[in-house]
Amino acid sequence: MGLDHTMIDVGYKYCIFENGPMDAMPLSALPHSPEPWSVAVLNAYQKLYHVYQTASSYVDSGNVEARRLQQYGNMIIADAYPLLLLLIESAESESLPLSWIEDVATEFTALLALVDDAWVSAKDEYVKNTMASIK
């Protein structure tokens, strides 16, 4: 399966991202702004988008391993959430709507729940297969 390209309008320029299947859950795009977004906001969004699309595409693939799911969960917790906190801290100075940041945080929380559910299922399947091979 080839990679699809998604073009995201981030104000004054477009960012092109390579991502997996298009059935992956989309991350909310940056809201329209009359002024160009700062480099810091654009970089934060690109990192958030990458984490979200990568984890979402992997979960949607249906062919998952517990170890990789754990890595994606850790990426959400260690990379995405701190970026969202930084965006909250700079929201006023960047004219970034708090409602958008809250929506993105909710999307990451929902994705983390999906990753966790898939991890539990993959781990249970591994244990079941291991026990069956022992018998």
Kindly list the domain boundaries of the chain, sorted by start residue: 4-134
Spell 3-13 as b/e; 16+ CB within 10 A means b.
eeebebebbee
Q: What is residue 21's predicted lDDT score, i.e. its pLDDT?
A: 37
pLDDT at 9 (0 to 100): 41
| Amino acid 92: pLDDT | 96
What's the pLDDT at 47? 97
Mean pLDDT by 10 residues, the chain (135 residues): 38 38 71 94 97 94 88 96 97 96 97 93 79 78
* pLDDT of 15: 39
pLDDT at 87: 98
CA-nearest of 86, 84, 116 to 103 is 84
pLDDT value of position 24: 55
Of the candidates 65, 61, 62, 58, the one whose C-alpha atom is nearest the C-alpha of residue 112 is: 58
Nearest-angstrom CA–CA distance, 112 and 135: 35
CA–CA gap between residue 73 and residue 65 (Å, rounded): 12
